[in-house]
Structure 1
Amino acid sequence: MTSVQEKLLEHLRTCSKGAPPADKREKSLPQELVSWSQRVDMLLPLVLAAWRCKLLRDAAAMMVGLGLVIAGGFGRPLHSIVGLLFLAIGIRGLPGGAPFLEVKTEAGFYAARHGRYGTRNEHICKAFEGWLSTHVPCPWQRSGELCTVLPYLLNQKRSSDLPYERCWLEAEDGERFAFDWVFPPTGFDPQRPVLVLLTGLAPNQHWTAAAGFIADAAWHFTHRANMTVVVLVARGTMDTQVNKNLFHGARVTDLRQMLEFTHSSLEKFSGIKPKIFAAGYSMGAIILANYCGHYDKDPLIAGGIHFSGLHDAAFNMNFKYSEETWQAYLAYNLKWTIAVSAQEEVGFIVQACAMVLKRGDMN
């Protein structure tokens, strides 16, 4: 296994195009992103989004209640009564804020039970249902927002020292994009599947530093499943730079080019047909689904799964809670990342991003 990995590493380093040359020209952000008044205007949608967020509203009510109860312990019984009222409201849910979208589809596993893939789908559904029957959800972590936020705060960041090999390819439009190979501690095993991970709206930080779902998945599959992992890096994120053609979620050619390279490289050095699977998170899940629609005749992957990817983006526009709360943060971070990572060739896009940063929406 080690010898195969060494040959594969040498191949990756030989074929890598390297990071794009840095533009040494002086770059400056437009005035819209520099002045303090404009920055305050940009932050206002985030403040409003935070106030509409159920998690933050309930937490604020409970914190106020807890403070009043503590104050009541110093001879102020009225404070204790009001504090208990605030605690009850926080636990029950503070009224107001953005409404949740009414759920009309019953939770479950949906697939064609007949036809060409009926037997396979039936097996997958029964496997998931069997696992779910043994799953005991956390009794106090009932909010979806809490389930998303707390892992970032409480989980151990196991990926900070995870070694990886970055490889660069040059796309048809001239931009170079990166993908990171992560090998298991025991070495590359040709008999084990290879997992391709697609990130969501990623930050400027590398995935080992930012932690989160991608980093945790890379650690788990390499250390627990003895599988090799390849992380596709979205253009302009995770220590990468773009010169002209920025990231957008409808582009599937980067994934295709990376899979072609990965497939041929694994086949060359393992001597067997590689088993490649893919998993996408959020925006990465949308790209993966779009990729499967484009390359369904020859996908180069044996299977794929997506987490939190939209099935109907147009219908999701009716989800006002999403639009008015956490999407404001996603939009702000995405537009800011594009603005500060873009070169002068896309200055008009930078200025456009600066103008819509104030709006705080994803349209």
Structure 2
Amino acid sequence: ILHGLNGGSTEPYVLDLVRRANAANMTAVVLIARGLSKTPLQGEELFTGARTSDVGAAVCALHTIFGDEAMVLNKLEYKTKIVLVGFSMGAIIGANYTAKARESCGIVGNLSFSGTLCGQAMLDSSLPSNVHSHRVWQPALAWGLKATVIKPFLHLVLKRGITTKGVEAIGSVNELDSKLVCAYHK
């Protein structure tokens, strides 16, 4: 299970899925994105929604834990059937992982709730359908992300030449991506 951007393993929608899966005699595993949900960060690579390698590593670990041989590319006959379920940003990351890894993804399915694989049109603030997004929820989400994703690791952000003033000036998710995430991971 891949949680949403500000989520983690304690979100009600995640807990609901875990309970229902367990009741149906299925194992549910939640991958908490690196550094999110107050988890410690090893190294200096912060969360980015563009990174899919963490999902691949988790899928490989699950196959190993549940007794499958080491993941072999293009092998579709695993004993363990893994289905990715992603919510919001987790859905985007899951879809991106599946699209990139294709036959070697190690999963049998991917279910995306409120995710997208191509969000180019959503970046255009001049489109009438995006005016509300850019005025209302983008600033609110950017504020929350700065508090939960950036603030705990501000010391790392500052080491990469991004200033506190620059972080404070960010007012939308688009700006967060273009001015902070891209600059951090360049």
Match of 1:89 in 2: none
Looking at structure 2, the residues matched to 316 and 292 of structure 1 have their Cα atoms a distance apart, in angstroms, of 22
Is residue 2:43 matched to residue 1:207? no
Deviations 1:15-44 (A, max 9, x none): xxxxxxxxxxxxxxxxxxxxxxxxxxxxxx
**Matched residue, 2:39:** 240
Which residue pairs with 2:80 in the alignment?
274
Residues 352 and 201 of structure 1: CA distance in aligned 2, closer, same or farther (over 3 Å): farther
Against the structure 1 CA distance between its residues 297 and 305, is the aligned structure 2 distance closer, same or farther, given a 3 Å change threshold?
Answer: same
Q: Distance in 1 between matches of 2:54 and 2:66?
A: 18
3-state SS, counterpart of residue 214 of structure 1: helix
1:216 is matched with which residue? Answer: 16
Does the C-alpha gap of structure 1 residues 329 and 348 become closer, same or farther in structure 2, counting only changes over 3 Å?
farther
CA RMSD of aligned residues (A): 2.3
1:328 Cα shift?
1.6
Q: Match for residue 198 of structure 1?
A: 2
The equivalences for 1:340-355 within 5 A come to 340-342=151-153, 344-348=155-159, 351-352=162-163, 354-355=165-166
TM-score (norm 2): 0.76
Q: How does 1:286-325 map to 2 (within 5 A)?
A: 286-317=92-123, 318=127, 319-325=130-136
Q: Deviations over 1:264-299 (max 9, x none)?
A: 221259xx7111111111111111111012110211
Structure number with bigger Rg: 1
Residues 327, 282 of structure 1: CA spacing in aligned structure 2 closer, same or farther, 3 A cutoff?
same
Structure 1: segments with no counterpart, 5+ residues: 1-196
Aligned equivalent of 1:228, options 27, 34, 53? 27
Residues 1:290 and 1:353: Cα distance change in structure 2 (over 3 Å): farther
Does the aligned pair in 2 maintain the 1:276–1:303 contact within 8 Å?
A: yes
Q: CA deviation at 1:356?
A: 4.0
Question: What's the offset of the Cα at 1:358?
Answer: 3.6
SS in 1 for 2:20: helix
Kindly indicate whether residue 143 of structure 2 is the aligned counterpart of residue 332 of structure 1.
yes
The amino acid of 1:266's aligned partner reads F
CA distance in 2 between counterparts of 1:280 and 1:200 reads 7
